[in-house]
């Protein structure tokens, strides 16, 4: 081992993720292109590692290139309408052939267990079956889509029992109707429906697309589903990236907390996305930014009312109305039904690439529901977008809350020089810093 110290540090750094993910349900979806690219064995190894860590995994595979291959072998023409496949009887036979072939390939990949390989002693069992009920799309604008369908229901209770028994579940791009018909589905539709029905903690799309970039050619690491809709409406993303982002936003709107879009071209991309801070893909979250937003001048009165009790007991430094009005652009607020019940402010120190978070406050009536952490995450993202490398706070009474969320103790000397000059030695505030 070239650098054992670095390895130990890395292993320690991923421990919090392991604790957080154990017992959670992940839906992992990938297109048929991944299999064509020869990446299936490596993905199987990575997913077996996640399974060994106590994560419940449902796999959803696509089959577009495999279906295209079967169509070509049988001299059957492919027909599409608005990028949706029209499935006649001949095309359906090709879809069944492709799905069956892929199922066997996936089961074989998870059966690996040779000594001195990542899957040694894994003994993974993968279960597939008629877990997806589907219905036909039907005739739309005069176009008959034949046996192309959409997901109607996923047998969530049955799948949960299989997962609890320690097996993986495999879902293909086919669904079945109560009348005994089979329908051709998209991998993305099945994945979103499965994640929603299972109340999955994460939906992970492992895609053929590269890392998404915005209109300024900056990598897009994280979006709320509202921001995802804005990016889609801007209509600049490549078609494949937009397609995945559309389904990610749809899943978040349906209740899935986190959706990841990860390129498979990078070796170990799934592990890097899950076990590193910034990841290597794009994460879409269900956070409702309509309730967590930048403050406006109309919010001054509500902010004052919120922080006055904490100013009175000495938890916060007193701020007058005029000061808050001048600094209102630094504040973010969390709102519900028009009532502001949390706030925080971000003060930049550009020269030192540091930002101070101050005035983090949540109404005592709603404390304990995770709103403080939501505000903190929001301020961290705000700081990262502004190009800051670290976030610091000064506190007298909430040290442990910040330590539990990744801050570490520091000294006044670690503060930006300009902030050191403003430090109030009478309050003896503790300095806590978090790297972003």
* 113 pLDDT above the threshold of 90: no
d(CA 61, CA 34): 9
Q: What is the pLDDT of residue 288?
A: 57
Q: Which two tokens stand for residue 127?
A: 């279960």
- Other Cβ atoms less than 10 A from the Cβ of 220: the count is 20
312, 297 in Cβ contact below 8 A?
no
What are the C-alpha distances in Å from 91 to residues 61, 71, 169? 18, 7, 26
- The answer to whether 182 and 174 are in contact (CB under 8 A) is yes
**Other Cβ atoms closer than 10 A to 351:** 9
pLDDT at 308 over 80: yes
What's the chain's average pLDDT? Answer: 91
- The pLDDT tens digits for 180-231 are 999 999 999 999 999 999 999 999 999 999 999 988 888 898 888 988 999 9
Residue that the structure tokens 């892929």 belong to: 102
> What would the DSSP string read from start to end of 231-280?
HHHHT-S-HHHHHHHHHHHHHHHTT-SEEEEEETTSTTHHHHHHHSSS-S
- How sure is the predictor about 84, in pLDDT bands with cuts at 50, 70 and 90? confident
Per-residue pLDDT at 205: 98
Count of C-beta atoms within a 10 Å radius of residue 270: 25
Q: pTM here?
A: 0.73
d(C-alpha 344, C-alpha 355), whole Å: 13
Among 25-39, 111-125, 355-369, 395-409, the least confident range: 111-125
> What percent of the chain has pLDDT above 90?
68
- pLDDT above 70: residue 258: yes
pLDDT band at 1 (very low <50, low <70, confident <90, very high): low
387-435 pLDDT per residue, tens: 999 999 999 888 999 999 999 999 999 999 999 999 989 888 999 999 9
Average pLDDT value for residue range 56-79: 94
| Residues paired with residue 203 on neighbouring β-strands, in sequence order | 27, 259
Task: Say whether pLDDT at 29 is over 70.
Answer: yes
User: Residue 337 — pLDDT band, cuts 50, 70, 90?
Assistant: low
Report the pLDDT value the prediction gives residue 430, as an integer from 0 to 100: 93
**Which CATH code is given to the segment(s) 4-285?**
3.40.1160.10
Do residues 56 and 125 lie in contact, with contact meaning Cβ atoms separated by under 8 Å? no
Query: What are the pLDDT digits (tens) for 317-332?
Result: 888 889 999 999 999 9
Residue 221 has a pLDDT of 87
Q: Is residue 289 pLDDT above 60, yes or no? A: no
> Which residue spans of the chain are classified as CATH 3.40.630.30?
292-435
Q: What is the pLDDT of residues 36-46, one digit of tens each?
A: 999 999 999 99
Asked if 378 and 332 touch (Cβ cutoff 8 Å), the reply is: yes
The segment(s) of the chain belonging to CATH 3.40.1160.10 are 4-285
The residues, any chain, with a CB within 8 Å of residue 365's CB and separated by 6 or more, are: 341
Average pLDDT, integer, range 340-356 = 92
For tokens 């040290």, the residue is 399
CATH number of this structure's domain 292-435 = 3.40.630.30
Mean per-residue pLDDT, 121-144: 90
CA–CA dist 311, 403 (Å, integer):
23
User: Does the structure show a pLDDT above 60 at 174?
Assistant: yes
Q: Is the pLDDT of residue 166 over 70?
A: yes
Contacts of 280 (CB under 8 A, 6+ apart): 211, 262, 263, 266, 269, 272, 273
Which residues make Cβ contacts (< 8 Å) with residue 240, sequence separation at least 6? Answer: 207, 208, 209
Closest CA to 171 of 148, 152, 194, 149: 194
- pLDDT at 368 exceeding the cut of 60: yes
**Which residue has tokens 């309408």?**
81
């Amino acid at each position: 081992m070239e650098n054992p110290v670095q390895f130990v540090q890395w292993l320690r750094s991923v421990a919090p993720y392991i604790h957080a993910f154990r017992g959670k349900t992940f839906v992992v979806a990938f297109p048929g292109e991944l299999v064509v690219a020869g990446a299936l064995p490596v993905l199987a190894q990575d997913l077996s590692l996640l399974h060994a860590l106590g994560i419940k995994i449902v796999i959803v595979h696509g089959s577009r290139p495999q279906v295209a291959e079967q169509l070509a072998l049988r001299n059957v023409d492919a027909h599409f309408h608005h990028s949706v496949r029209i499935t006649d009887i001949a095309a359906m036979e090709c879809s069944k052939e492709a799905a069956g072939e892929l199922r066997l390939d996936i089961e074989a990949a998870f059966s690996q267990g040779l000594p001195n390989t990542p899957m040694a002693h894994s003994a993974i069992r993968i279960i597939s079956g008629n877990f997806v009920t589907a219905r036909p799309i039907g005739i739309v604008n005069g176009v008959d889509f034949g046996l192309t369908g959409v997901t109607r229901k996923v047998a969530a209770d049955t799948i949960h029992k299989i997962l609890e028994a320690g097996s993986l579940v495999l879902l293909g791009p086919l669904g079945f109707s109560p009348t005994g018909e089979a329908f051709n589905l998209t991998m993305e539709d099945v994945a979103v429906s499965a994640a929603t029905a299972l109340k999955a903690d994460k939906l992970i799309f492992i895609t053929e697309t590269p890392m998404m970039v915005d209109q300024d050619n900056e990598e897009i690491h994280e979006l709320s589903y509202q921001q995802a809709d804005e990016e889609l409406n801007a209509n600049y993303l490549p078609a494949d990236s937009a397609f995945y982002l559309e389904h990610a936003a749809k899943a978040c709107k349906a209740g899935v907390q986190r959706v990841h879009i990860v390129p498979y071209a990078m070796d170990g991309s799934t592990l890097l996305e899950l076990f590193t801070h910034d990841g290597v893909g794009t994460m879409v979250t269900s956070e409702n930014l309509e309730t967590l937003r930048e403050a406006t001048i109309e919010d001054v009165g509500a902010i004052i009312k919120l922080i006055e009790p904490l100013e009175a007991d000495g938890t916060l430094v007193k701020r007058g109305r005029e000061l808050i009005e001048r600094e209102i652009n630094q504040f973010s607020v969390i709102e519900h039904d028009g009532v502001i019940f949390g706030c925080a402010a971000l003060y930049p120190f550009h020269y030192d690439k540091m930002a101070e978070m101050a005035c983090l406050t949540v109404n005592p009536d709603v404390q304990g529901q995770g709103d403080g952490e939501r505000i903190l995450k929001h301020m961290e993202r705000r700081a990262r977008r502004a190009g800051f490398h670290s976030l610091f706070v000064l506190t007298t009474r909430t040290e442990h809350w910040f330590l539990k969320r990744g801050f570490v103790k520091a000294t006044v000397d670690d503060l930006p020089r300009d902030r050191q000059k403003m430090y109030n030695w009478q309050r003896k505030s503790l300095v806590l810093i978090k790297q972003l």
